[in-house]
Each structure stands twice: as structure tokens, then as C-alpha cells.
Amino acid sequence: MSQQEIEVILSRHLAEHLALPIFIVDPEGNMLFYNEPAEALLGIRYQDTGSMPASEWSTIFQPTEQDGTPIHPEELPLMLAMMKRHPAHRRFWIRGLDGVQRQIELTAFPLIGQGERFVGAIAIFWEITQ
């Protein structure tokens, strides 16, 4: 397996040291990593899933509006950050693989390295508890 880009390696390093839930994808949208705080909201450990294609992670957590309307994968902030290469933000609901439905707020932005290299995207999210 080829080595990840240095900016992605350092993003993962940062994610491992932050208490905020973080999710990292590569330029094709494949999920590369999520940290322990994200595991708590997604209801599954990274060690149990490993990396995941975009088609899988964008649907497996069943993202919906408050009224239960499904959100199309291409409308998710992380997919928007990846495809349009600008930051995106949204509040929505997911169902973790532990079966618990949670409202989350998520901000995603593209990872653009030296030389304008697009190396992926990163999402920081948190649970809305009130």
C-alpha cells in the first residue's frame, strides 16, 4: 500500500490528539480515518471498520433532515468540501452503528497542501444535545 500524503498523516496525528470528533477522507472521498471521539458518535470503532469507500460511509450512517428526509450523499458537507473544494457546514441527523440516532453539526473543509495539491478533506463535528 502506498504512503499517505504528508498533510494527511499530520491531520491524522492532530485528530488523534484532539477531543473533537474528526473524520478524514482522501481526494476520492474514501474515508481514511476517524478518531476516538468520532467513534463515540458513529457507534463503531475505527479498528473495526478500517478505511471505507465514499459510497459506504455516506449512507451507512443514514444522514437525514430533522423530519427524517434522507440527505443525498452529494449534499453532505464532507462531500461538498471534497467536490467543490471549499468549506461546508450543516446540522443534520445520523444513526450510529450502535443504533442510536444523534443530531450533529458538522464543518468540513478541503485539505490543500503546498503547491495547491488537493490531498483530501476533513470534517469536524459534534453532537447537538439540547
Please give the residue ranges that form the binding site for other proteins (CB under 8 A): 1-7, 9-10, 12-13, 113-115, 117
How far apart are CB 17 and other proteins at their closest, in Å?
10
Task: Report the residue number, 3 or 66, with the smaller CB distance to other proteins.
Answer: 3
Using CA atoms, how far residue 88 sits from 22, 39, 67, 95, in Å, is: 15, 22, 21, 21
* Cα angle for residues 74, 5, 52 (degrees, 5° grid): 40
Helix, strand, or coil (residue 125): strand
Task: Report the residue number, 9 or 124, with the smaller CB distance to other proteins.
Answer: 9
Task: Report the residue number, 17 or 66, with the smaller CB distance to other proteins.
Answer: 17
- One-letter amino acid at 26 equals D
How far apart are CB 56 and other proteins at their closest, in Å?
19
Distance separating alpha carbons of residues 35 and 23, to the nearest angstrom: 7
Task: Report the residue number, 16 or 74, with the smaller CB distance to other proteins.
Answer: 16
How far apart are CB 13 and other proteins at their closest, in Å?
4
Contact 104, 110 (CB under 8 A): no
How far apart are CB 10 and other proteins at their closest, in Å?
5
